[in-house]
Chain A
Amino acid sequence: EAGVAQSPRYKIIEKRQSVAFWCNPISGHATLYWYQQILGQGPKLLIQFQNNGVVDDSQLPKDRFSAERLKGVDSTLKIQPAKLEDSAVYLCASSLAGGRAETQYFGPGTRLLVL
């Protein structure tokens, strides 16, 4: 079974530029998550989708971050404009139905460096 796919794996941009990350969850998984992991810290949930609807985006900095999952499968996370503090690994995860304590499967992440 194929895992969660993410691209690109690495991205270097200058501050105030925009960047987009792509995630393809495990086939059949209804729930998709984006996490931000700053160096030396644990991942922090940015947004959770159930199919193509947003379940939780309370920690998403909405003035600069946006995410969509238009067809309920792939998802894109965008940052515009980027700040130095956005340097982090962006992790995508998926789970079958979003039930409590259901296992989340993580992708390898996209490492972003903002200069």
Chain B
Amino acid sequence: AQSVTQLDSHVSVSEGTPVLLRCNYSSSYSPSLFWYVQHPNKGLQLLLKYTSAATLVKGINGFEAEFKKSETSFHLTKPSAHMSDAAEYFCVVIPAGAGAQKLVFGQGTRLTINP
């Protein structure tokens, strides 16, 4: 079954420093990949998505992710962390060939921002 693996369950950075959240996927084909963010007591929000167009995808709030087929990775980055970025981040895949729009979520990475 196609899936995603988030390599860190918790990442802690200082405000103003770069953010890197790592995600690897397993797929025989070019999948559709997403990053979602979940703030406490709020619904999941789409940050960005890759659908086989440009490999560098820009999202909301200054986040971007690069699809690297050779490394089967889709890491999320941001040049400068802000306190409001503290949240849970999920890497998500739609398996190729899935008839339904079935999102398969990773385990999540909790991002903590230190002042």
Interface residues of A (CB under 8 A from B): 3-4, 31, 40-45, 48, 55-56, 91, 93, 95, 98-109
Residue pair A43, B43 in contact (C-beta under 8 Å): no
20 new A-B contacts, CB < 8 A, other than A42-B105, A43-B90, are: A4-B43, A41-B107, A41-B108, A42-B92, A42-B106, A42-B108, A44-B105, A45-B103, A48-B102, A56-B100, A91-B43, A95-B101, A98-B100, A98-B101, A102-B101, A104-B103, A105-B43, A106-B43, A106-B44, A108-B41
Q: List 5 A-B contacts (CB under 8 A).
A: A41-B108, A56-B99, A101-B51, A101-B101, A106-B43
Identify which of residues 3-50 in chain B touch chain A, using a CB-to-CB cut-off of 8 Å. Answer: 32, 34, 41-46, 49
The 4 closest A-B pairs by CB, nearest first: A42-B105, A106-B43, A56-B100, A106-B44
Residue pair B105, A101 in contact (C-beta under 8 Å): no
Residue pair A43, B42 in contact (C-beta under 8 Å): no
Q: Closest CB of chain B to A96's CB: distance in Å?
A: 11
Q: Which chain A residue lies CB-closest to B33?
A: A101
Residue pair B43, A109 in contact (C-beta under 8 Å): yes
Q: Closest CB of chain A to B74's CB: distance in Å?
A: 14
Q: Closest CB of chain B to A95's CB: distance in Å?
A: 7
Q: Closest CB of chain A to B110's CB: distance in Å?
A: 10
Q: Return chain A residues, CB-CB under 8 Å to B101.
A: 31, 48, 95, 98-102, 104
Q: Which chain A residue lies CB-closest to B9?
A: A40
Is B76 in the interface zone, CB < 8 Å from A? no
Residue pair B100, A43 in contact (C-beta under 8 Å): no
Residue pair B44, A43 in contact (C-beta under 8 Å): yes
CA distance A21 to B103 in the complex (A): 21
Q: Return chain A residues, CB-CB under 8 Å to B34.
A: 101
Q: Return chain B residues, CB-CB under 8 Å to A4.
A: 43
Q: Return chain A residues, CB-CB under 8 Å to B108.
A: 40-42
CA distance A106 to B34 in the complex (A): 14
Identify which of residues 91-115 in chain B touch chain A, using a CB-to-CB cut-off of 8 Å. Answer: 92, 94, 98-103, 105-108
Q: Closest CB of chain B to A67's CB: distance in Å?
A: 15
CA distance A100 to B42 in the complex (A): 25
Query: Known contacts being A42-B108, A101-B49, is A107 close to B100, with CB within 8 Å?
Result: no
